[in-house]
Amino acid sequence: MVTFVDRVTLHLRAGKGGNGCVSVRREKFKPLAGPDGGNGGNGGDIVLVADPQETTLLSYHHSPHRTAGNGGFGMGDHRSGANGESLELTVPVGTVVKDADGQTLVDMVEPGTRVVVAPGGQGGLGNASLANPKRKAPGFALLGTPGWEGDIQLELKTVADVALVGFPSAGKSSLIAAVSAARPKIADYPFTTLHPNLGVVQAGDVRFTVADVPGLIEGASEGKGLGLEFLRHVERCTALVHVLDCATLEPGRDPLTDLDVILAELAAYPVPEGQTPLLERPQLVALNKIDVPEAKDLADLVRPDLEARGFRVFEISTVSHEGLRQLTFALGEVVSAHRSQQAAAPAPERIVIRPKGSQKDFEIRVEGGTYGNIYRVLGDKPVRWVQQTDFQNEEAVGFLADRLEKLGVETELYRAGATAGSTVVIGEGDGVVFDWHPTMSSAAELMTAPRGTDPRLDLNPRRTTSQRRERYHDRMDAKAQARADLESERIAERSAERDEESAR
């Protein structure tokens, strides 16, 4: 049974915005008192919140699909739809959020950090909001846009001050259980620890956290054992403690050889850009199991060699608790010095995002096709406007044409070489495809057609009086010509009959 998960992929779908309402107020003596359709509600967002009480991503491993609430539809009498319920997902502090391609979006290292990873859709405007002095009674409303839908990756990196590293069964779990209130699983076989354990240590006035990382073996940086899978939990630690087993019975192993193997694996592990390499951080050595007489003799033998290499060495026993006080106070000094250095460092510059007014709202990309060029319109505004348009309503389609023309899309299509009848696609992928007719002018506000219709899109326009008169005269002329032809045929037949009688 899985009890710890530090990497998971979430499938998210934010709430859809509600549609606007088309309504006209009717009351006594005022059968058409003006539009009163309300706006649709916005869709719910999906928000990640860094919670110190969370320690694993296990709940998202079992339920990776998460959906926020949809916005309500607008109603008559200027009643707007309710906003969709947002969904808050709590994650452990130290969670790294990445997109589907593995690019880092945010690193949630501070408790209480809130990040909107899936924004909800925008609610559509009702016809009351679309009315203006020129368009007093719109016969259409805008649809709600869909919310963000996609995948994100969550990767947990433990936030601890000190990391315990070493071979399997070196006594790391016993050490963290001896110096803190943590109670990890302890047994006499390798790889007892299958996930990092955290413990809080109080050394005088300094309180710090210690992480117990699963045992490392030679080749861990290449994927052997469990070390590579959990080395990411060492990235955020201030100091490293090499726990060396002085009472091992395995042939070919000794504290110095174990230390060289661990150092080689730590050097081979790449840390993210901007972080201090693992081997350049403060490192202490703990010679464990000195309660065994042979281990005590071995510790006294290798201690001068380790100190000659620049390590601070502590002889400890997790059974008798010998040397643990000196080790914890030494770690407290290292952590306190690092915190003082962090406090003295200048605060990072705040990033201020300012809108760029001169930035274009769209771009046109010319793509080759089997039957000629395809002109693809890309941009947040055109795509959103298309999503808000009800293509079953002619007036709504005309309103879309007006918006695109005012944005300058038609001018840019001319510059890109588009001609009447060219294929234009709005959005990526299949998008919305239509044949471009540049003669369609922007005059929706001046139209006097019934609500819900746009005469510019009428494929069967009514004929004018002159056209009907011309067609009537053409029909009468055709009938007269037909009668004349029949009369000439009758006269020809009678003439032929007389000639036959005369010949007899």
Are the C-beta atoms of residues 142 and 125 closer than 8 Å to each other? Answer: yes
Question: Is 318 labelled as part of a ligand binding site?
Answer: yes
Contact criterion met (CB below 8 Å) for 120 and 84:
yes
* 193 known ligand binder: yes
Say if residue 171 carries a ligand binding annotation. Answer: yes
Q: Is 300 annotated as a binding residue?
A: no
| Three-class secondary structure of residue 325 per DSSP | helix
Residue 175 counted as an annotated binding residue: no
Q: Is 213 annotated as a binding residue?
A: yes
- Consult the annotation and say whether 289 binds a ligand: yes
Diameter over CA atoms, the chain: 155
- Whether 168 has a binding-site annotation, put simply, is yes
Round to whole Å and give the CA distance between 108 and 210: 20
Contact yes or no for 67/87 (Cβ under 8 A): yes
Query: In 90-201, where does DSSP find H-type helix?
Result: 127-130, 172-179
186 assigned ligand-binding residue: no
Q: How far apart are CA 175 and CA 147, in angstroms?
A: 49
Helix (H) or strand (E) holding 308: helix 293-308
- Strand-pair category, 312-315 with 239-245: unpaired
Q: Binding residue per annotation — 191? A: yes
Residue 109 labelled as part of a binding site:
no
Q: What share of the chain is helix, strand, coil (3-state, %, to 5)?
A: 30, 20, 50
26 contacts 36 by C-beta, under 8 angstroms: no
- Is 192 a known ligand-binding residue? yes
Known binder of ligand: residue 59? Answer: no
Give dist(CA 126, CA 124) in Å, integer.
7
166 is in an annotated binding site: yes
Give, in order, the Cα–Cα distances in Å from 227 to each of 194, 208, 233: 10, 23, 10
Cβ atoms of 184 and 318 within 8 Å: the answer is: no
β-strands 46-51, 114-118: how paired? antiparallel
> Does the annotation list 329 as a binding residue?
no
> Does 195 appear as a known binding residue?
yes
116 is in an annotated binding site: no
Query: Is 438 marked as binding a ligand?
Result: no
The helix/strand count (H/E) of the chain reads as 11, 18
Question: How far is the C-alpha of 93 from the C-alpha of 364, rounded, in Å?
Answer: 43
212 annotated ligand-binding residue: yes
Check the CA dihedral 193-199-204-206 and report its sign: positive
Binding residues: 166-173, 191-195, 212-215, 288-291, 317-319
Q: Give the residue numbers of the binding site for Mg(2+).
A: 173, 193
Known binding residues for GTP are 166-173, 191-195, 212-215, 288-291, 317-319
